Amino acid sequence: MKKNKMILALIFLCFSVISSAQTSNELKKELSSKKDSIAALQSKADQLQKQIDALPGWRKGAFGTIGASFSGFNNWYSRNAPNASAGNIGVTVNGFANLIEEKFFWRNSGGINLGWVKLDDKAIVGDEGFETATDVFTITSLYGRRINEKWALSALTEYRTTLIDNFNNPGFLDFGVGFTWTPTERLVVVMHPGNYNFVFSKGDANFQSSPGAKLVADYTASYYKLNVKSNVSIFTSYNNSNLSNWNWTNSFSYTLWKKIGVGFEFGLRNNKQEALNNALITNVNATFDTADNKIQNYWLFGISYAF
């Protein structure tokens, strides 16, 4: 009797395993089918979005990233400062407002990146508050009159400075005319052989304005949950190569829930005039040849929000 019960139990177990395997396979097939359906619907949605993007009118958008970290140490003797607190806060915002019409376009964009750091050693008397770490502000406006679908006669105004510590000191204002190439809705390439780089500064700062050529390439796109913006701006001075400069910024935002996600931004810059001005702080005899002109960079990783 016991043997019969054991045999029946084994048979039942085998049928359960087989049934479970069949159910699992059926569910996997159904899941695969659903994923194919979602991919097909997403493809149709992307095609509709391209058609919407091609319509005349305004296109507006913005996304930003907030990154922050805080830490504290009390009687942590392995540190040189066993009692201390530290903090790091960073905020970036990138936005655009583009008017696209059949015969002309007007593209406007702006970017802000602000960061603060704090290291408070409690053994040192005094309040060590937050200090500015990153301070970048850029705004551009591009107007183009179409020659054909891809090319346009254009005029560009671009302004770059800081907001917190040294507003407009220096400030770089480019104004120029030339041609703009728009091979796709997402990519804009500006080529202006006639450009003037105005440099504003105060006090004894050593900056010079000059004529030159301007090249700007801007890529802005959305891929389902991913927002991407990359911008490179190059100025080549006709007077002296020491007066040339370039900036490259890249922003990424991936939505995880509703409009909240993770974001990452990094920027690179090369500017000999800024390097020389910094060197003159400690060495009044510094020149373009002796100034340490390293590539400037910043980065921020944190929580993002898509507007």
The pLDDT, as a whole number, for residue 15 is 56
Question: In whole numbers, what is the pLDDT of the chain averaged over residues?
Answer: 85
Q: How far apart are CA 216 and CA 189, in angstroms?
A: 6
pLDDT, tens digit, for every residue of 187-215?
A: 999 999 999 999 998 876 679 999 999 99
Average pLDDT over residues 149-172: 93
Query: Could you tell me the residue ranges of all domains in the chain?
Result: 1-55, 60-306
Structure tokens at 150: 């891809």
**Is residue 31 pLDDT above 90, yes or no?**
no
Q: How far apart are CA 157 and CA 141, in angstroms?
A: 5
The pLDDT, as a whole number, for residue 41 is 73
Q: 196 near 183, Cβ under 8 Å? A: no
What is the architecture, at CATH level 2, of domain 60-306?
A: Beta Barrel (2.40)
Better-scored residue on pLDDT, 230 or 67: 230
Helix, strand, coil distribution of the chain in percent, nearest 5? 20, 55, 25
The pLDDT, as a whole number, for residue 295 is 94
Q: How far apart are CA 98 and CA 46, in angstroms?
A: 20
**Is residue 125 pLDDT above 70, yes or no?**
no
At 93, the amino acid letter reads V
